[in-house]
Amino acid sequence: MEETSTINYLLYNKYDCSFVDDKIMFWINLFCYSKIFELLDTVFIVLRSKKLLLLQYYHHLLTLMLCFFGMKLMPKQILVASDMNFKIHFWMYGYLFLDSLGLHQIRKYDIYITFLQTLQMFVGLYIYFTQVMKPCLIDDTISENFLLNFGFFTYLSYAILFTMLLIEKRIR
């Protein structure tokens, strides 16, 4: 059966770390390396003299760290995160593209993008909170507990910061 999405792939394949083949690792690596380019987003914000939110640089830096720490140890968690992230970034960058074309009436929908981002953080938090996905290997330099705690607290802080941003946008 050819699965059409990451979620289907994960639902229909037994998770014993054997699911991590070259095709899956390609997407995990692509996701992790894309986080480096997302740091450029922060640079562009600064260069354009726009207001830089703590959430922007904090989120970009910690996601990059979590990704590279976790891609070998916890590929299923990274795969789930990347699947959600790719889909939400599709909508977010589509929104930003349309706004940059001068279609400013689209700005009334930015709260929905923020809602999806916030939801993504709560799903990530659930993944780390439940720890239903066990690590694939233990690296001598990074312990399983450290990575699980780092992932959990990273997503907890994201959930708090995105919720605060959502509330702020709702009040405006």
* Res. 112: pLDDT tops 90: yes
Domain assignment of residue 80, yes or no: yes
The tokens 């939400």 sit on which residue? 88
Domain assignment of residue 31, yes or no: yes
- The radius of gyration of the chain's CA atoms, rounded to the nearest angstrom, is 17
Domain assignment of residue 132, yes or no: yes
Domain assignment of residue 1, yes or no: no
pTM: 0.77
Q: What 8-state DSSP symbol labels residue 19? A: T
% pLDDT > 70, the chain: 77
* Res. 132: pLDDT tops 70: no
Domain assignment of residue 23, yes or no: yes
Least confident segment among 21-35, 131-145, 150-164: 131-145
Domain assignment of residue 76, yes or no: yes
Q: What 8-state DSSP symbol labels residue 71? A: T
Q: Domain count for the chain, please give it.
A: 1
Other beta carbons within 10 Å of 79: 23
Q: What is the pLDDT of residue 3?
A: 47
Q: Please choose, from the candidates 124, 5, 11, the residue with its C-alpha nearest in 3D space to the C-alpha of residue 74.
A: 124
CA distance 106 to 104: 5
- Catalytic annotation, pick one of 59, 60, 89, 104: 59
Q: Between 54-70 and 22-47, two packed helices, what is the crossing angle to 10 degrees?
A: 160
Q: Computed from CA positions of residues 95, 7, 60, 115, in that sequence, does the dihedral angle turn out positive or negative?
A: positive
* Res. 153: pLDDT tops 90: no
Angle at 122 between CA 93 and CA 59, to 5 degrees: 50
Q: Is 89 a catalytic residue?
A: no
The β-bridge partners of 139 are 142
Domain that holds residue 33: 6-171
The number of residues making up the chain comes to 172
